[in-house]
Amino acid sequence: MYPLMDVPELHARLVENRRTVLLDVRWALGDPDGYRHYLQGHLPGAVFVDLATELAAPASPARGRHPLPSAADFQASARRWGINDGDLVVAYDDSSNMAAARVWWMLRNAGLSDVYLLDGGLAAWRAAGFDVEAGSVVPGAGSVTLADGKMPVLDAAAAAGWAGSGVLLDARAGERYRGEVEPIDPRAGHIPGAVSAPTAGNLDSSGQFLPPDELRRRFEALGISDGVPVAVYCGSGVTAAHEVAALELAGFRAALYPGSFSEWSNNPGLPVATGPGPGGSGGLPAGNPDTGKGSVAL
C-alpha cells in the first residue's frame, strides 16, 4: 500500500469536504512543547496526538523507552481522535514525518488501510501557501474498532539472529550506530550484524521522501533485494517506522523491532558492537551510503 499523500491531494480533499481525519503528531526529542506548537498553528481540523502518552506505554528497561501501548488503550486513543471505521486518516508532524510515522505504522498494524503520511509534513503545507489554524480541535468521539498484529514485528531474540538470513537496518544516526556517542541509552553501539541506514537518507533537501526508485537503489546498496527478509530498529521504535514506510515505497515489506536499541542495550546479556561495520570490526558493506551523521532516531 502506498504510504504517502501529497499536499495538493490533501488540500483538494479538504476543499471538497471529503471525510478526512488529520492527526498532528508534533513531537521531537528534546522538545517537550509539541502541544504548544500545535496550538500556535496546525492544519485546519487536525487533532493533536501525544506521542509520549497515546503512542507509547510507560518506559521500562525491559521494553524500552517507547513501548507499544495495549491494543485497548490504542483503540481508546483512536476513538478520541474521532476515527470511525472506514475513515481515511492523514498524519503529519513538523520533522519530516519522523514522529508521525509512528501513528501511521500503529494504525496500519491495527488494520486500517486508508492511512497516510503527508509527504513533507507541515513544512510542505506551509510552503504551498495554505493556511493553518490556531487553537485546539476536539472532535466527536469515534467508533473505530481496531485489530492488532497486521504489520510484521520482531523481538530481541529474533533481532539477535536476523542478520544470519536477512538484513537488519539500524535507522539511527551514524555516530550512534558506530558507538561514538550515546545520549540516551545505557550502552553505545549497535546490534551485532545490523547495517547502518540513518532515516535522514530517506529524504530530499525539502524533507520529503525520495522517489521510490531512488529509495530502492539506496536499500539495494545496503544488501536488500526481493525475497531477502528485512527488519528495522532505531532508538525506541519511533523513527524505525519512518524507515518501514520508506522501504514500502521502495517495494520492500519490513518488520519493525518495537523495543529497538533502548530495550536491547538495557539487557546486559545481549552483546553490543561498535565501529563502522555490522560486526563492529570491519568496514562498511559495499555500497553503504552511511557517511556519518543523520537525524537523531528515537
pLDDT digits (tens, 9 = 90+) for 244-293: 999 999 999 999 999 999 999 999 999 999 999 998 643 333 233 343 33
pTM of the predicted model over 0.95: no
pLDDT of residue 297 exceeding 70, the answer is no
Q: Is 234 annotated as catalytic?
A: yes
Alpha helix positions (H), 56-211 = 71-80, 100-109, 121-127, 156-162, 174-177
CATH 3.40.250.10 range(s) for the chain read 4-128, 156-266
Multiple choice CATH, 156-266, 1.10.730.10, 2.60.40.10, 3.40.250.10, 3.40.50.12160 = 3.40.250.10
Among 129, 35, 142, CA closest to 89: 142
Active-site pick, 224, 234, 254, 296:
234
- What's the whole-number mean pLDDT along residues 116-129? 98
How many residues are there in the chain?
A: 298
Segment 181-239, tens digit of pLDDT:
999 999 999 999 999 999 999 999 999 999 999 999 999 999 999 999 999 999 999 99
Angstrom distance (rounded) from CA 67 to CA 245: 19
The whole-number average pLDDT for the span 44-68 is: 95
Q: Could you read off the pLDDT of 163-184 as tens digits, one per residue?
A: 999 999 999 999 999 999 999 9
H or E stretch covering 13: helix 7-15
- Share the mean pLDDT of the chain: 93
Q: Given CATH 3.40.250.10, say whether it is the number of domain 4-128.
A: yes
Sign of CA dihedral 4, 290, 28, 186: positive
pLDDT computed for residue 279 by the predictor: 82
Q: How many CB atoms lie under 10 A from the CB of residue 57?
A: 15
Residue-level pLDDT at 156: 97
